[in-house]
Amino acid sequence: MKSKRIEWIDFGKGITILFVMLVHVIEGVYKTSGYENYDSISKILMAIIFTFIMPVFFALSGYLYHGSNNVRTYLTGLGKKAVNLFIPYIIFSVVYVVLQHFGGNVNNLYSWNSLIYIFEKPIGYLWFLYVLFFIFVFVGFLDLLNMGMYAQLIIYLLSFIASQVINMPYIFRSTLTWVICFYVGYLLKNITINWENKKILIILVVLLCIDCIYQYNGNTDWFHTNVLSLNNFITKIISIPIAFYYFNHKKNTTFFRYFKGLGKYSLIIYLVHAPVTSIIRVLLLRIGFTNYFVLILGISVITWFISLFVCWLSNRYTLIDAVFSPYKYIRSVKK
């Protein structure tokens, strides 16, 4: 039986994926030569948006996570996730590299050989799908051991610290780094929180501001907040309950309904937006859109609507939908 969708979770996914697209647009322009005069604006925007987007996305997945009671359920669930995450992962790894080599004006060109090693090191933005799968492997395994929530939390905290101080392969380092964000989302679902208590929100916002100021004053690389590290750990973790509070309290307006409707398409938008952003940036620069603000706005608007068009196509054409949701078609063939 199909589980009922949680409206505020879908809204959270929809609004967060918008910020994912925006920050990649800003980052692309920041890395493009000729815009050094706007570095301060780009750095501030990247620092703010990167602080919360990936922790929140992992936490939203954690909120929806259900543990397995036995090995068979665990392996079946992993099989489904492997199909739904790795088939798009492979397809868009190829698409991304191909477009890089034929699109021109690339900030970080991946070699053709990088495609051979995508199960050892992801390409670009696709790292999220890669890491998310292995987080499911890790958390699901500990659930099979009937380990309590708080015992797991301690393990994930220690895992994060280990990932920061021990040199290890990407697959382990990235999984141990981000699993804590995933599990914070799971905890927020399973512990009693009075979301109406604004004092909690105020305390969290104050702590977030204090730590942001500390990061700014204590680190010359302050704007690189995309990666979870010891330096930005507090801000990233605190951003999760703040975001969840906002998602929970957003009124049922047209704005809410718009992004709620896009929540179930967040994976499609995630996969499509990065290569489209790169192409649109190159095209707009070639035809003379060189003003920083016009370029950011133009890339963002065009990328957003192209991504939504692909969402529409996935609803209309089975072949396209199969790229983004392959498991349901494989399952129907087996039946």
Q: Which of 34-38, 103-107, 131-135, 290-294 has the lowest mean pLDDT?
A: 103-107
Contact 269, 262 (CB under 8 A): yes
Question: What pLDDT digit, counting tens, does each position of 12-24 carry?
Answer: 999 999 999 999 9
Q: What is the pLDDT of residue 1?
A: 45
Contact 316, 136 (CB under 8 A): no
Tokens of 220: 């010359």
Question: What pLDDT digit, counting tens, does each position of 147-174 carry?
Answer: 889 999 999 999 999 999 999 999 999 9
Distances (CA, A) of 227 to 26, 54, 174, 311: 17, 9, 10, 28
Tokens of 133: 């799968």
Tokens of 242: 């703040």
Cα separation, 302 vs 280, in Å, equals 8
Contact 17, 262 (CB under 8 A): yes
What average pLDDT does the structure give for the chain? 90
User: pTM value?
Assistant: 0.92
CA torsion angle 192 244 51 201 (round to 10): -70
